[in-house]
Every structure is written in structure tokens, then in C-alpha cells.
Amino acid sequence: EAQRFYGIQRLAAIEAQLKWGPLGRALGPGYLANGARNFIMSSTSFVAVPSLYKKYYPAEQRSESTLFWFGLGVNIFAGNTLAITQQALWGRSLDYASAGGGRAVSYSAVVRDGFQKEGASAFFTVPKWGARVLMNAPIQGTMPWFYNQVLPRGEPALLRAIGKFFPEDTPSIIKP
């Protein structure tokens, strides 16, 4: 994503200035903030929503519809609220890394500078949240519903098809 942000030539110049090894180049500037954002969104969809839904949502009210809306709501109001702070940190980190032709990211300096210049709005505003929700919530928020309600409908047919190609590796319960 850093290559998309900077462009190929500019990222190459920043990497050359930083004299990074292969691992640093593979991860790119601002990796921790970008990774944190992705961790938050994945955890929201694949851990938080299923766990909270199973543990706290009344069993008698559980349905495809309630899982769909619960997942969307948790994603919109929890996952994206946290993720936009990391998205902003990532963008600010890339700006920081490019200063002077390239320098290592100091997250504490990036956060301090953001708060000094713009206060909390450096990392969270309603428009940032709204844009992130419109971009991510439809898919990210409905993943638990999709994985639990849609994919299983095609699973038996898929397993039977796999069993035709790999009969010796197929458990007896799914053999055609």
C-alpha cells in the first residue's frame, strides 16, 4: 500500500534513503499502523461479532437477519471507529516517513504532531468515520453472516466435487 500511496519511484527513493533490508522493504513505511487497522477490522468480523453474538445475543432472537444487522452494527460503531484512528495514523506515518527524502517512522512523534496541530480531529472526525463506514461496512460488517449463512449452503456440493477428484483423501462423510 505504501507503493500505491507514494508511487513506485518515490517509494524506491525513500527505501534507498532508509537503507532498509528485504524485510523492511516488504513491510513498508507505516506498517504497524496499517497492520493495526487490518487487525482491528479482521478481529471485528471474525472474532468479536461471532463471539458477542453467540454469548450475548438472546438465543430466541437469533436468525440470519439478526446476525446480518448485528455484524453490520458492530462493524460500523466499533470496528470502524477504532480503525479510522489507525488509518489516519498510517497516512500521517507515510507523510512523516517521506520528509527529507526518507526517515524512519516515529509513531510517538506522529501522534504528538497530529494532536498538536489538529487535536483529536487528526485521528477521528465524523466525516472520516462516515467515509470509512461507507467504504468498508457493507462487506466487512456482513462477513460473519455470509460465512455462517451463505457459504454453508454450497459446502456439500463443493465437498462432493472435491471428493470426485481426490477420492482417496476424502473423508467418508463427504464421498459422492
Cell reading at 152: 454453508
Which pLDDT score, from 0 to 100, does residue 149 have? Answer: 85
Give the contacts of 148 (CB within 8 A, at least 6 positions apart): 50, 67
What are the grid coordinates assigned to 62, written together? 437469533
pLDDT, one tens digit per residue, over 63-98 is: 989 999 999 999 999 999 999 999 999 999 989 988
pLDDT at position 70 is 95
Render pLDDT for 112-144 as a digit per residue (tens, 0 to 9): 999 999 999 999 999 999 988 888 778 877 888
Cα torsion 139, 144, 149, 153: sign: positive
Residue 141: partners with Cβ closer than 8 Å, 6 or more residues away: 45, 71, 72, 73, 74, 75, 76, 79
For position 61, what pLDDT does the model report? 96
- Please report the pLDDT score of residue 66 as a whole number: 94
